[in-house]
Amino acid sequence: MTSLMTHATGRHEIGPAVIAIGVFDGVHIGHQRLIADTITIAREKRCASCVLTFDRDPDQVVTPTHPAPQLTSFDEKVRLISALGPDAILVVPFDEWLASLSPDDFCIDVLLDAAEPIACVVGHDFRFGTKASGDADTLRALGSLHGFQVVTHPLVHHGGAPITSTRIRGLIAAGEVEEAAALLGRNHSLDGVVERGKRLGHRIGVPTANLHVGAEFALPAPGVYAGWASVAGERHPAALSVGVPPTFPDATCVLEAHLIGFEGDLYECTLTVEFAHRLRDQRAFGSNEELAEAIRADVERARILLG
């Protein structure tokens, strides 16, 4: 069972370990292989395997006015990493103090303070320290000084290009959720709390759950999608609408979910929605009857695609 720890100075919580270091937003296929290799190396060296990550994306501190849209919440990131089976996850709070550390100070005040690293495993494009001034070679030099190895993990490729969180964000922003799923190893998902809306869906016979999603998360391009909605441990096929429908320009919700075959009250529940297939763009309709007919067609197509 994976232990979850938060870094506190002077504790040496981990002991001898092989440590994967990274932000790991999305925990995509490349991250998964890096962490799997970390576990394998740790077993060979007969020590603990550890994943060192941060409680938020460094962009949220370093460039707060335009941080990268997040692929996963912190809790989801921890859950996904834990499922890979490392012995420990070390969460380091990323704040202004951490952002100001030089690579040398990061090594001493964070890495060596929390553990006795036998080896560190990082991605080929790894950067650390203030203003991203350190890279894998910097860490390797520090490892030579402090007695640990550094393993640089090659970027994993798919479709002729490396898998990166940035690439996945671009695919999601373009509505290419199937390709994003191929790189993530699962459907892109978001959590949202169901809010009371204007009941426009009820009026046309297709009730939807209006979801409030944090602005920091990566939302697919406006359009209609087939996917899944999970609530209270049950997963339901769903038709998902992203963006303000042109037929209702005064609508305030940008993410709605129609759970196919579901009956019940979802208000104030937390739903996890997954985007599996893009069905169509948002478009205006001449009447509520035309919109209702299009939505029924979307629901039927979603039902078929999702099996």
Structural domains for the chain: 3-161 (3.40.50.620), 188-305 (2.40.30.30)
Q: What is the pLDDT of residue 198?
A: 63
**Cα–Cα distance, 299 to 258 (Å, whole number):** 8
Q: Which amino acid is at 173?
A: A
* Mean pLDDT, rounded, for 273-294: 91
Closest by Cα among 211, 217, 207 to 273: 211
Comparison of pLDDT for 5 and 273, the residue scoring more: 273
Q: What is the pLDDT of residue 264?
A: 85
* Mean pLDDT, rounded, for 221-227: 97
> Is this model's pTM higher than 0.85 or not?
yes
Non-local (6+) Cβ contacts of 304 within 8 A are none
User: Token pair for residue 212?
Assistant: 């409030």
Average pLDDT of the residues of the chain: 92
Residue 204 has pLDDT above 70, yes or no: no
Q: What are the phi and psi torsion angles at 95 (to 5°)?
A: -130, -175
| CA-derived radius of gyration, the chain | 22
Three-state secondary-structure class, residue 171? helix
Q: What is the pLDDT of residue 13?
A: 74
**Cα–Cα distance, 109 to 224 (Å, whole number):** 48
Tens of pLDDT, residue by residue over 79-118, are 999 999 999 999 999 999 999 999 999 999 999 999 999 9
User: Token pair for residue 168?
Assistant: 């996945």
Closest by Cα among 66, 48, 132, 120 to 94: 132
Residue 46 has pLDDT above 80, yes or no: yes
Indicate the pLDDT class of residue 11, thresholds 50, 70 and 90.
Answer: low
Tens of pLDDT, residue by residue over 138-156, are 999 999 999 999 999 999 9
The 10 Å CB-count burial string (b at 16+, else e) for 124-146 is eebbbbeeeebbbebbbebbeee
Residue 10 has pLDDT above 60, yes or no: no
Q: How many CB atoms lie within 10 A of CB 26?
A: 28
% of the chain exceeding 90 in pLDDT: 79
**Cα–Cα distance, 151 to 292 (Å, whole number):** 56
Indicate the pLDDT class of residue 219, thresholds 50, 70 and 90.
Answer: very high
Q: Can you give the length of the chain in residues?
A: 307
**What DSSP state is assigned to residue 130?**
G
Three-state secondary-structure class, residue 166? helix
Q: Is the dihedral of CA 248, 251, 256, 261 positive or negative?
A: negative
Tell me if 92 sits within 8 A of 57, measured CB to CB.
no
